Structure 1
Amino acid sequence: MQTLDLVDAHSGVEFGNGVRLDVRRDGTGERTALVLPGAERAVEDGRFLEALAEDFAVVTPSHPGFSRSPRPDWCSSVDDLAYLYLDWLDRSELTDVTLVGLQFGGWVALEMAVRSCARISRLVLVDSVGVKLGGPLDREVVDLFATPHAELDKIIYADRAHALGDLALAPVDDVLELARNEEALVTYGWQPYLHNPRLLNWLWRITVPTTVVWGDSDGVVVPDYGRGLAARIPGASFDLIDRAGHRPQVERPHDVARLIAKFAV
């Protein structure tokens, strides 16, 4: 059986055999937050992770195929990612974990939560994708693969100062990471596009307190989608972040971190 072994990219320490992932660790709190990132460059979440670490021991893996994490050929679906992280939680014997899913990572978090909340005590979804709320012809998520990069900057961020900008002028390593992440996102979310058609039918299995957090200026997935998602998860709340787009943890890192800390009390 394949297992999930986390490699701390900062210390180079291996944890057993199996899948090897880059992992960022922040904070030393008694409570653990497992943060599943989106498809953009991980470094941009740094201020948010540092703020969250004031209240949690934060573990942030890069998904297989993203950043510097290798992707085995057999790992090609969001189902695979969900089982990998659930297996790691079991083997780590962590309990009372606050699971935070950012954008694409929110989809992974949803797939985990409908399978098992045994080690998860709270679920936080930040501008998540993963479900189809409307009809088959309703476009609920902007086509990230067909939209020019310059246009994506406009709809992802309320303040484009946070965007990478002209790729021709960006550092080569940043552009290569972005390209690798986009390739991985295609692998996991091309067809059907960024959702699991069956997931909506299983949201009732989420048995832990849940909050759905959304940027008020998200142009990729509008806030009404977030409200609809929250309405379909038993007891879930919905929080809107002012002056933020699709990645509020980047534009309003301290606000999002405080909201999560308060929710997880």
Structure 2
Amino acid sequence: MQIADLGDVQLHYRIDGPSDGAPVVFANSLGTDLRLWDQVLPLLPPRFRYIRYDKRGHGLSSLPSGPYSMGALVRDAERLLDHLQVRDCLFVGLSIGGMIAQGLAVKRLDQVRALVLSNTAAKIGIPEQWQERIQTIKTHGIEALADPIMERWFSRAFRNTPECALWRNMLLRQPAEGYAGCCAAISGTDFFTPTSGLRLPTLGIAGSDDGATPPDLVRETTALIPGSKFHLIRKAGHLPCVEQPEEYAALLTQFLTDTGHGQI
């Protein structure tokens, strides 16, 4: 475990793989920490340098006062990659992590050479629903939203397994202020225009049972980028890397090959 002190925020990150490997960066979803990728990483080619981090207000990263802006979350990722001297990475972003990925690619094409936009969109929901969620968290805590969130995160079959309880516990252990702060960032974000200007290799991934970012929404965002590819993972919800890690890893591995990552 390592901490990058970026001044106004301290980000917890982890690096797996050789120090000279081509970088692959992961940004996780709202309400999860970097363990989101635990089942996928062992299935990926060992020659790459895999970088994961907890966004502000999540996991073992610090908890700045909210609300947060998407600009702040993008800047956190930018400064972390500068801190680690990362250029030309393949950036994998899931949900809010996919929004961060879009913003970073627009801002710093020297840092990002290819994108995986997983279970995400240029715009997610409407401000009113995010404000309602923020108010519920402030009044009753994350517990009040946990069951509906599990329904969006996972297919019915997975929700009936003991493992689902672990992910519910992870959600409940995120700081309420950090969760609400990131809800505010999503609420204020519409990347439709900037994302449509991107020109880089892009793979979109959706889950057939995703109740947060349905497949058509993910497909619509991915289609904004010319030449992009899209894949639907069946029997999976908002976190297909958890429900179908083998298929998810196979998609990432194929995309690494297709983009020639690490061969430039």
Question: What are the superposed Cα offsets for residues 99-128 of structure 1, whole Å, 9 maximum, x if unpaired?
Answer: 010111111111111112112121001101
Shift of 1:66: 0.5
1:190 aligns with 2:190: no
1:109 aligns with 2:101: yes
1:37 aligns with 2:23: no
Q: Is the 8 A contact 1:27 1:50 kept in 2?
A: no
- Please give the secondary structure, in 2, of the residue aligned with 1:239: strand
What is the distance in 1 between the residues matched to 2:81 and 2:171? Answer: 32
What is the distance in 2 between the residues matched to 1:150 and 1:129? Answer: 23
Which structure carries more helix by proportion?
A: 2
What is the distance in 1 between the residues matched to 2:120 and 2:164? Answer: 19
Match of 2:211 among 213, 216, 219: 219
Residue number in structure 1 paired with 2:195: 203
Q: CA RMSD in A?
A: 3.1
What is the distance in 2 between the residues matched to 1:223 and 1:138? Answer: 22
Match of 2:13 among 8, 23, 26: 23
Match of 1:52 among 30, 38, 44: 44
- Please give the secondary structure, in 1, of the residue aligned with 2:178: helix
1:153 aligns with 2:150: yes
- Please give the secondary structure, in 2, of the residue aligned with 1:25: strand
What is the distance in 1 between the residues matched to 2:184 and 2:75? Answer: 20
Letter matched to residue 95 of structure 1? R
1:132-171 to 2 correspondences below 5 Å: 148-158=145-155, 159-160=158-159, 161=161, 162-164=163-165
Q: What percent identity do the matched residue pairs reach? A: 23
1:229 aligns with 2:221: yes
What is the distance in 2 between the residues matched to 1:234 and 1:116? Answer: 19
Shift of 1:224: 0.6
- Please give the secondary structure, in 2, of the residue aligned with 1:183: helix
1:89 aligns with 2:81: yes
Q: Is the 8 A contact 1:64 1:75 kept in 2?
A: no
1:177 aligns with 2:178: no
Shift of 1:191: 6.9
Q: Is the 8 A contact 1:155 1:220 kept in 2?
A: yes
How many pairs does the alignment contain?
Answer: 241
What is the distance in 1 between the residues matched to 2:11 and 2:185? Answer: 25
What is the distance in 1 between the residues matched to 2:247 and 2:238? Answer: 15
Give the TM-score taking structure 1 as reference length. Answer: 0.78
